[in-house]
Structure 1
Amino acid sequence: MFSLFHQCVSWVRQKAQNALLAVLAAGPIPKHIAFVMDGNRRYARMNKKIVQQGHSDGFLALRRMLEVCLRLGVQCVSAYAFSIENFKREPAEVDALMNLAEEKLLELCQHGDLLDEYGVRLHIIGRKELLPESVQAVARKAEEMTQHNDRAILNLCMPYTSRDEMTTAVESTVRKALDSDDYSSAEITEKDIDAQMMTSLAKSPPLDILIRTSGVRRLSDFLLWQCCENTQLQFTSTYWPDFGLLEFVPVILDFQRKVWYQQVTARKLL
């Protein structure tokens, strides 16, 4: 009897979610959303779990939110999975995160899984050479397995910092200019550097929304170049493993209100 009741509740919840997503999808939808997935460790302490379980629950939240974004028609999702600075954490936690990354990358790319279902191409963005060899191998395999997908993009930023990305982009731009036939007259522009950013090389559209969970109100060296004046910054006190559709809806509504306001203002100026 309890099992039947649970099934009914799940069915009703799923129907309600489908209806809500359909309503949201009728309005303007951002092309690119980024997540700073913060609060896994505090979530674990609050729920009396080990830190590793907090990170594992965080990966489940990423999968959950990725599917919500894909069902809405978002073209690109970027997730801050591991900062270069995170290598300074306790070795046991770093090792656990690397093992978890290896495990979840394989799961993401299983035949018929979420990425294939929605036609998502996976990019691992960052200094991949800093990862353990086993994680590098599965990262390459994951990217290769999804390279034929062309409907959406998932950027997993690991290990990554924005300063490193910008430094690398400038170096690549200068090297490209020096390799040109007439480098003495070459002029390096903002557009040239932008073209060498890791997200640009991954064919990502401009960043529309950046969401950070856990109540911390800073960017922590994530997508600083991409956070242009049109990027909507959203901060929520919810820990990342608990972040879901109910927390996401106000973010999308804020985006839609902004787009509609801009459209109305533009008409008035005509």
Structure 2
Amino acid sequence: MSWIKEGELNLLEKLSANVIKAGPMPKHVAFIMDGNRRFARKKHVQRQEGHMQGFNKLAETLRWCLHLSIPEVTVYAFSIENFKRAKDEVDGLMELAKQKFYKLLEERENLEKHGVCIRVLGDLTMLPQDLQQLIAKAVVATRAHNKCFLNVCFAYTSRHEIANAIREMAWGVEQGIIKSSDVSETLLSECLYSNNSPNPDLLIRTSGEVRLSDFLLWQTSHSCLVFQSVLWPEYSFWNLCEAVLQYQFNYRSIQKARDLHREEQARQQVEEDRACVGELLQHHGNGKPAEAQRRQEALSHYTVCREERIQDFLKALKHKRDSFFSELSSQAALA
């Protein structure tokens, strides 16, 4: 099965898609693809077959998203917690991942035609070396594509991602690129694995479980969450339409919450900048209060310098991450 299943919607699906697209559409949808093992038990087949059917459903779902003009999809493919499962199941999932990334590399022309950029988010160092190299080749091969994006969360949990973001900021401070006073909520967001993506508008979990299982906890704080009882391998176009309609129904409240959060972030940043400038002026002015004009000039200068430091840090971080994938991809070419 290809990563993106070719084919048109049927007449009823096309008509429904056109009606739905008349309303506000999510630009980024995240999926917790739950229910593969329960599907296997239900159909009396091996668990590996359930996981295979789950991948096939992903390919079909990506096709629906393309037809619904949803340009970005993030999927929870393998949690760090999944390493605790039985060894044969974990080994089977690793082997399935290898097969699918081999397939992806064979389908580069198709991915280029659709402009699909593949990103893999997670701690790849936890994976077998040959799988790391395959993933890196896929990421590097599709890096320049920019029409639609598939983010595959593999060896991932949100808490691990947030902890890693904190380590990245600490690295920036240690390297002297940024100051400890530059650390903020906004900068932490830029240090997450998902920093190249907007936060999901809609998060869907299948199988009837009503929890996030440590998935995109930071990014979905103002997303529409939809929990559906259908098992992932049995997911349908109509299930996706139902979820999008729930997003549209809640669109105004979601946008209002996001706007308020952005305003609060901006206000907090201004207050923190003023506090830093006040301390600096007091330190250099022998404790005398600075006049308003001098204070405003100092604030403007401080803000510009902080933004320059942050941009330099983000460039260094991007280079560090790009180099990691490029080096792994080169190793695969030499193997």
Please report the TM-score for the alignment, with normalisation by the length of structure 2.
0.70
Code of the aligned partner of 2:189: D
Pairwise CA distance, 1:69: 1.2
Pairwise CA distance, 1:37: 0.7
Distance 1:261 1:223 in 2: 20
Once the two structures are superposed, what CA deviation does each residue of 1:120-166 show, in whole Å capped at 9, x if it has no partner? Answer: 10011101111112211210111122112111111100010001000
Q: CA RMSD in A?
A: 2.1
Q: Which residue of 2 aligns with 1:238?
A: 230
Q: Which residue of 2 aligns with 1:112?
A: 109
Structure 2 unmatched runs, 5+: 1-6, 257-335
Given candidates 194, 197, 215, the residue that maps to 1:199 is 194
Secondary structure in 2 matching 1:94: helix
More helix by share: 2
Distance 1:44 1:77 in 2: 25
Pairwise CA distance, 1:182: 6.9
Q: Which residue of 2 aligns with 1:31?
A: 27
Q: Which runs of 4+ in 1 moved over 3 A?
A: 260-264
Percent of paired sites with the same residue? 38
Q: Which residue of 1 aligns with 2:160?
A: 164
Q: Which residue of 2 aligns with 1:3?
A: none
Please report the TM-score for the alignment, with normalisation by the length of structure 1.
0.86
Secondary structure in 2 matching 1:159: strand
1:101 partnered with 2:97: yes
Once the two structures are superposed, what CA deviation does each residue of 1:60-112 show, in whole Å capped at 9, x if it has no partner? Answer: 11111111112222121110000011111111111110111111122234133
Given candidates 210, 214, 234, the residue that maps to 1:217 is 210
Distance 1:14 1:106, change over 3 A: farther
Once the two structures are superposed, what CA deviation does each residue of 1:15-37 show, in whole Å capped at 9, x if it has no partner? Answer: 22222222222221111111011
Code of the aligned partner of 1:112: E
Secondary structure in 2 matching 1:251: helix
Pairwise CA distance, 1:13: 6.8
Relative contact order, higher structure (CA 8 A, sep 6+): 1
Structure 1 unmatched runs, 5+: 1-10, 265-270
Q: Which residue of 1 aligns with 2:291?
A: none
Secondary structure in 1 matching 2:230: coil
- Give the count of matched residue pairs: 249
| Contact 2:169 2:191 survives alignment (8 Å) | yes
Pairwise CA distance, 1:263: 8.7
Pairwise CA distance, 1:206: 1.6
